[in-house]
């Protein structure tokens, strides 16, 4: 009975614990990223050079791209981009002195835990990960040199590539996104799940120990 009460108490403690913050691993080397993830679910090479504004969902049903006029407010991101030179970029209109904006994306697939992209021409200083409630979590990518890959233990909803800013604050550095991919990722147990496993093992071990003591205390014939 005591074991059952302790087990119930521990289960309640685990269930009531606040969820831990997502653990995100950042890759700046594509070879290392591909070695750490599984097969490719979606790959977009943005082939073509129409120099035209296109719908952000026209490249794949799995992800929608858009131009984000203010990288600190995900709600302002549109659903169109400029498609040119085998890549996509923003449509402008931000509050930066030169009007250059960011490129954003929203995943239409469930359970996206790994994605990567190439960028050219400009620089991306960060990736603002967008949650379903439009809250943002900034990942520093200022050390990247053309490739960014992210792997998380919590599913991604979307992201915004935060432009580098020119010296003197004269404007945002425009970048072009290419070779966008969504990958399978190794399954990472949730912290609560790990705790439950630990509780179950502990309870089973304690029960076995108590049964052993009961047998030893039995009558001797």
Residues 219 and 152 in one domain: no
Structural domains counted in the chain:
2
What is the residue-averaged pLDDT of the chain?
84
- Rounded to an integer, the average pLDDT of 193-221 is 49
Q: What pLDDT was estimated at residue 15? A: 39
pLDDT in tens, 144-196: 999 999 999 999 999 999 999 999 999 999 999 999 999 998 754 444 443 44
- Same domain for 135 and 175, yes or no, is yes
Query: Which pLDDT score, from 0 to 100, does residue 200 have?
Result: 45
- Classify residue 22 as exposed, middle or buried by CB count within 10 Å of its CB (0-12, 13-18, 19+): middle
Give the model's pLDDT for residue 205. 52
Residues 64 and 158 in one domain: yes
pLDDT of residue 219 exceeding 60, the answer is no
pLDDT in tens, 116-141: 999 999 999 999 999 999 999 999 99
Same domain, 212 and 125: no
Q: How confident is the model at residue 201 (pLDDT cuts 50, 70, 90)?
A: very low
Model confidence pLDDT, tens digit, residues 56-73: 999 999 999 999 998 678
- Same domain, yes or no, for 72 and 11? no
Mark whether 76 and 111 lie in a shared domain. yes
Q: Which residues of 88-115 are buried (b: 16+ CB within 10 A; e: fewer)?
A: bbbbeebebeeebbbbbbbbeeeebbbb
| 103: CATH | 2.60.120
43 beta partners: 181
Whether residue 165 is found in the same domain as residue 198: no
Q: What is the mean pLDDT of residues 35-47?
A: 97
One domain, residues 77 and 126: yes
DSSP 14: H
Residue 66 and residue 137 in one domain = yes
Task: Say yes or no to pLDDT of 4 above 70.
Answer: no
Q: Tell me how far apart the alpha carbons of residues 80 and 91 are, in angstroms, rounded to a whole number.
A: 8
Q: How far apart are CA 30 and CA 160, in angstroms?
A: 19
Q: Are residues 197 and 214 in the same domain?
A: yes
Domain containing residue 109 = 24-183
Express as a percent the part of the chain with pLDDT over 90: 70
> Could you tell me if 84 and 49 are in contact, meaning their C-beta atoms sit under 8 angstroms apart?
yes
Same domain, 142 and 101: yes
Q: How far apart are CA 64 and CA 160, in angstroms?
A: 12
Asked if residue 197 and residue 114 are part of one domain, the reply reads: no
Minimal CA–CA distance to 68: which of 83, 81, 84, 55? 81
């Amino acid at each position: 009975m005591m074991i059952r009460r302790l087990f119930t108490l521990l289960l309640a403690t685990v269930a009531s614990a606040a969820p831990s913050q997502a653990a995100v691993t950042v890759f700046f080397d594509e070879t290392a990223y591909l070695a750490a993830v599984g097969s490719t679910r979606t790959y977009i090479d943005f082939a073509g050079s129409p120099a035209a504004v296109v719908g952000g969902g026209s490249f794949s049903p799995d992800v929608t791209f858009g131009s984000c006029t203010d990288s600190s407010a995900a709600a302002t991101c549109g659903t169109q981009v400029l498609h040119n030179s085998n890549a996509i970029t923003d449509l402008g209109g931000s509050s930066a002195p030169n009007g250059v904006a960011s490129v954003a994306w929203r995943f239409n697939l469930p359970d996206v835990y790994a994605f990567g992209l190439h960028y050219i021409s400009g620089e991306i200083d960060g990736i603002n990960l967008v949650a379903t409630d439009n809250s943002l979590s900034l990942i520093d990518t200022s050390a990247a040199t053309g490739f960014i890959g992210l792997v998380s233990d919590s599913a991604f909803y979307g992201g915004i590539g935060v432009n580098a800013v020119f010296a003197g604050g004269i404007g945002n550095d425009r970048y072009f996104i290419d070779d966008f991919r969504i990958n399978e990722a190794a399954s990472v147990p949730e912290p609560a799940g790990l705790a439950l496993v630990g509780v179950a093992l502990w309870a089973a071990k304690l029960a076995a120990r108590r049964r052993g003591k009961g047998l030893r205390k039995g009558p001797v014939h």
